[in-house]
A and B are shown apart, each in its own frame.
Chain A
Amino acid sequence: MKFGVLVFPGSNCDRDAAMVVRDLLKQPTRMIWHEDSDLSDIDVVIVPGGFSYGDYLRCGAIARFSAAMNATKRHAEQGKLVLGICNGFQVLTEVGLLPGALVRNRDLHFICDRVSLKVERTELPWTQEYHPNDIITLPIAHGEGCYYANAATLAELEANHQVVLRYCSATGEVGEASNPNGSLNNIAGICNRQGNVMGMMPHPERASDSMLGFTDGLKLFQSVLQSAAIAV
């Protein structure tokens, strides 16, 4: 299974993501410069965290027009896998592959912390190594991670079970007290209707190598490999 990690000017989690899939999971991995428009050799595109194009105007607004993002859109439309992490999630909403938007955190702070998350979907290619309602811990690091969608879109997301990850307490209660950034319905990660595109604010790539202290994110990448093994 071949991974491609997009690199925009200002990306800063691209190498972390590549380290996980190339070095920990031993998968062929290629960095994709933002001007590159040929993704035909890639199975899974990762849109990494960082500050693409300085996040000028709005987070992800300018990355949306890059050649690599246009190619990523076509890749997703063919039903292939696309994962957006943090800034990558913001880019995927700007490009319209995922609904809603990510706005300024409720309390205005840039939050760099570890949070508990409830895994609500476990049959997706992204999450099948997790168990239903698993509570996992992943780092977050963002200033604009407050998920917003209008009431109709939010209702549709919930009705179609597109919420994959929700901020919760260490014991799994989902509520205002366990909502770090004001996201509607405590949303931390969503997928599209088909499930092949996923976006999340937490950083699984920063919680995959045991040297970094915790490894709850590794299963997400292992899930992708497992889904490929099943498909073959």
Chain B
Amino acid sequence: MELSSVPQTYHAQVFVTLRPSVLDPAGTAVQSGLHHLGFSSVDGVRIGKYVELTLEATDEADAKHQLDQMCDQLLANPVIENYRIELNAVVPS
């Protein structure tokens, strides 16, 4: 069995969020909207971006490595954003 050399398909979910130090006026506006709807206890609304994709990788570490590079170079701007990745192997049906 040479499992590690067989490319595996992964489904990745990438959550891009503004760094806490960056103001989020859109989040503030949405929070105010929620207050108007009566959700008066709502606080700390921040709006981010969600990207999903599939990719081929030799293993989970390789997939994570590729995704880190994608995020650092394009999907997120490290000056203003953080990101978090959730990774799942796609089971062939």
For A137-160 the 0/1 string (1 means CB < 8 A from B) is: 000000000101111000000000
B37 near A: Cβ within 8 Å? Answer: no
Residue of B nearest to A60 (CB): B77
A11 near B: Cβ within 8 Å? Answer: no
Q: Which chain A residues (31-69) contact chain B, with CB distance < 8 Å?
A: 57-58, 61-62, 65
Q: How many A-B residue pairs have CB under 8 A?
A: 39
- The size class of the interface chain B forms with chain A is 10 to 19
Docked complex Cα distance between A92 and B22 (Å): 20
Docked complex Cα distance between A148 and B79 (Å): 9
B23 near A: Cβ within 8 Å? Answer: yes
For B79, list chain A residues within 8 Å (CB).
93, 99-101, 148-150
For B26, list chain A residues within 8 Å (CB).
104, 108
A136 near B: Cβ within 8 Å? Answer: no
Residue of A nearest to B74 (CB): A61
B77 touches which of A94, A99, A108, A146 (Cβ 8 Å) = A94
Complex contact B77–A61 (CB within 8 A): yes
Docked complex Cα distance between A58 and B16 (Å): 12
A-side interface residues toward B, CB under 8 Å? 57-58, 61-62, 65, 93-94, 99-101, 103-108, 146, 148-151, 182
By Cβ-Cβ distance, the 10 closest A-B pairs, closest first, are: A101-B79, A101-B80, A108-B25, A106-B25, A104-B25, A101-B77, A148-B22, A58-B77, A103-B80, A148-B80
25 intermolecular pairs with C-beta atoms under 8 Å apart: A57-B75, A61-B74, A61-B77, A62-B74, A65-B74, A100-B79, A103-B18, A103-B22, A103-B23, A104-B24, A104-B26, A105-B25, A106-B23, A106-B25, A107-B25, A108-B25, A108-B26, A108-B29, A148-B22, A148-B80, A149-B79, A150-B21, A150-B79, A151-B21, A182-B23
